[in-house]
Amino acid sequence: MWFLFFIAIILSLINGAVKIPLANLLLKDNLIIVNMRMLRILTAILAGSGLAVSGIALQAILRNPLAEPYLLGTSSGAGLAAVIAVIIGISRMYVPLAAFLGAVISIILVYNIAREGNRIPDKSLLLAGVIVSIALSAVIVFLVSIFGNKAMHEVMWWLWGSLEVYNWRILFLACMPVILGITIIYIFAQDLNAIIMGEEEALHLGIDTQVVKKILILITALITASLISICGIIGFVGLIVPHIMRMVVGSNHRILIPYTCLAGSVFMVVCDVISRTLFAPFEIPIGVITAIIGTPVFIILLKRKKRF
């Protein structure tokens, strides 16, 4: 897996609108391009690992292999907030902040709709997430239809995902909650192993499943919101990568989480290379690439209906 990781990075560094031979990467004339590509690579690694590990956590606590990070309405909430920010003329610099706040608000809304007293029933959470996502997506379409202009084109690009984060400071701010979140999820690896066997079994082992659920829902939501705020909405990563890696390395989360983290990074870096080179010099939104790859995999998952 590490071999694939380094190969993906090398491919990303040398390929793009302008191809750079491997031997010329460190030449002074190419350093600006290499620096920009390295930022994209780091953003891809951050997004791929964060979304993939979040998918693992949600699939385990909801005991549903088709759960994924945008389940909680974060994508629609972030998208709506970004659209509103552009419509009212907020500086482009603050659109990521608006997206982050929109994602957090949608999470709070879904959580409160699904909550029954002190419990969060799995089915209620799933239904609340779907309902809120559909409702907010409808509002996005309405606003884009009414206020569509050149600025809206930029927002639509962002809604399909983009790794054009050419700012080290913004990337650093986003990486802190993502790396911390992945670490916390790994700390709960043994709890996740127990929960996928059933809540009753987990309770017998002394695990408070409701507390674990609340913590991990919060963590996955913050990871997703942080990533959406810098690179937009990139679907399918948190669905297909965990499922594939579960088939490869098994369901032990102490092993599954690190491997999925690495696999998610490789997947995103490769998808970014495809998005930049398929119709170079034109770039395809990376969410389109992940959707093209993810759709047939999702259909296969539905057909198999395999429990894990």
Cβ neighbours of residue 138 under 8 Å, at least 6 residues apart?
Answer: none
- Look at residue 133 in the predicted model and tell me its pLDDT: 87
d(CA 185, CA 163): 24
CB-count burial class (<10 Å; 0-12, 13-18, 19+) for 173? middle
In a domain, 105, yes or no: no
Tell whether 112 is covered by a domain: no
Say if CB 268 and CB 260 are below 8 A apart.
no
Instruction: Report if residue 230 sits inside a domain.
Output: yes
Q: What is the pLDDT of residue 142?
A: 84
Cβ contact 31:160 at 8 Å: no
Long-range contacts of 281-288 (CB under 8 A, 24+ apart): 281/17, 283/17, 285/157, 285/160, 285/161, 285/162, 285/232, 286/160, 286/161, 286/162, 286/163, 286/231, 286/234, 287/159, 287/160, 287/161, 287/232, 287/233, 287/234, 287/235, 288/160, 288/161
Cα separation, 306 vs 274, in Å, equals: 30
Q: What's the predicted TM-score (pTM) here?
A: 0.88
- Decide if 87 is inside a domain: no
50, part of any domain: yes
> For residue 308, what pLDDT is reported?
45
Distance of alpha carbon 115 from alpha carbon 124, whole angstroms: 8
* Residue 177 located in a structural domain: yes
Contact assessment for residue 81 and residue 103, using Cβ atoms and an 8 Å cutoff: yes
Per-residue pLDDT of the chain (308 residues; tens, 9 = 90+): 788 999 999 999 988 878 888 877 777 778 888 888 999 999 999 999 999 999 999 999 888 877 888 888 888 888 888 888 888 878 777 878 888 888 889 888 988 888 887 777 878 888 888 888 889 888 888 887 777 666 666 677 777 888 888 788 888 888 999 999 999 999 999 999 998 887 777 878 788 888 898 899 889 988 998 898 888 889 889 988 998 898 899 989 999 999 999 999 999 999 999 999 888 778 888 999 998 988 887 787 667 655 44
Can you give the pLDDT at residue 260?
Answer: 96
**Domain span at residue 257?**
2-68+161-304
In degrees, rounded to 5, the angle at the alpha carbon of residue 44 between the alpha carbons of residues 258 and 25 is: 110
Q: Give the separation between CA 300 and CA 280, rounded to whole angstroms.
A: 31
Is residue 206 classed as helix, strand or coil in its secondary structure?
coil
Phi, psi of 70 (to 5 degrees): -85, 5
pLDDT at 33: 86
20: left (phi over 0), alpha (psi -120 to 50) or beta: beta
Check: CB of residue 224 under 8 Å from CB of residue 74: yes
Residue 189 maps to a domain = yes
Query: Tell me, what CATH number does 252's domain have?
Result: 1.10.3470.10
Residue 148: predicted pLDDT: 66
What radius of gyration do the chain's Cα atoms show? 19
Residues 161 and 232 sit within 8 Å (Cβ to Cβ): yes
58: nearest Cα among 44, 74, 37, 45? 74
* Chain-centroid distance, C-alpha 290: 11
Question: Does residue 16 lie in a domain region?
Answer: yes
Amino acid identity at 219:
I
Per-residue pLDDT at 150: 61
d(CA 22, CA 186): 36
Report the number of distinct structural domains present in the chain: 1
